Amino acid sequence: MAEVANGQQQVPLDTIPISPSDKPSGSTDSTSADADSSDIKTVFHDKENFNVKHPLMNTWTLWFTKPPSGKGDNWNELLKEVISFDSVEEFWGIYNNITPTSDLALKSDYHLFKKGVRPEWEDTQNKHGGKWAFQFKDKKAINIDALWLHVMLAAIGENLEDDEDNEVMGVVVNVRRGFYRIGLWTRTVGKALPGDSAKGRTFEQGKEILQKIGKRFKQSLQLKENEPVEFSGHTDSAHAGSTRAKAKFVV
């Protein structure tokens, strides 16, 4: 498993409990041998003053788009940076203290992107990319909170792509009157960008990588085989305006 910048090894998310668990009596570990267990506080013991962290591979930033007021708001006024985090504990501390997606007002969005990447088509790291997306049209038939959580965990756990792919920029959930939509933004549309580490990658190789990411994204959404997830480029979406951009790939 890859190592993080500070030399500590990434801890797989599936090894981190989402609630405290009591150890069997008599059990010990290296931590308890070095310190009194009463000094160890995880996010499950204290949401604000925990002192044990398991580092993520990347630092992530949560963004929020508030609903427009109808008074000519522009995108920059509606898009708000909430907080950045780089550990499992910080993620759960944030997640447990924000409004669930199911309780958000219409035309609200949550965006979870790698730090330094704004959730905008115009961002230099996004402008040559695209997104996988799926619309859940029967809002009452799904648990959007659970699905959005699964997608976020897959993103911060680096489960949506392989280490060398360098494609996933972030994930987003949109709350609309007739549907929920969850998307995954990528850095390219398959074609290698000038000057990057993947410059020797052919379009077919890039397409294969994006389709693999799309399949993993589809799995995280718990979709059936006959429920297609579509990929479109940001440039195509911008040119399409209010209409839907033609899908480049489907899985």
CATH for 199 = 3.30.760.10
Domain count, the chain: 1
Question: How long, in residues, is the chain?
Answer: 251
For 208-227, how does the pLDDT look when each residue is reduced to its tens digit (9 = 90+)?
999 999 999 999 999 999 99
DSSP annotation string for 131-143: EEEEEE--GGGS-
For residue 234, tell me if it sits in a domain.
yes
Please give the residue range of the domain that contains residue 234. 46-250
Comparing CA positions, the residue from 5, 98, 18 lying closest to residue 59 is 5
Please provide the average confidence, as pLDDT, over all residues in the chain: 82
Identify the pLDDT of residue 30.
37
Residues above pLDDT 70, as percent of the chain: 76
For residue 21, tell me if it sits in a domain.
no
For residue 52, tell me if it sits in a domain.
yes
Residues with Cβ within 8 Å of residue 57, at least 6 apart in sequence: 2, 4, 10, 158
Identify the pLDDT of residue 32.
37
Q: What is the mean pLDDT of residues 99-105?
A: 97
For residue 6, tell me if it sits in a domain.
no
For residue 109, tell me if it sits in a domain.
yes
Q: What is the mean pLDDT of residues 192-219?
A: 86
Q: What is the mean pLDDT of residues 114-120?
A: 97
pLDDT at 239 exceeding the cut of 90? no
Q: What is the mean pLDDT of residues 53-75?
A: 88
Instruction: Quote the tokens at residue 115.
Output: 């730090």
**Full-model pTM:** 0.79
Q: What is the C-alpha separation between 156 and 249, in angstroms, rounded?
A: 24
For residue 179, tell me if it sits in a domain.
yes
For residue 141, tell me if it sits in a domain.
yes
Bridge partners for 170 per DSSP: 113, 185
For residue 71, tell me if it sits in a domain.
yes
40 or 106, higher pLDDT: 106
Are the C-beta atoms of 151 and 133 separated by less than 8 Å? Answer: no
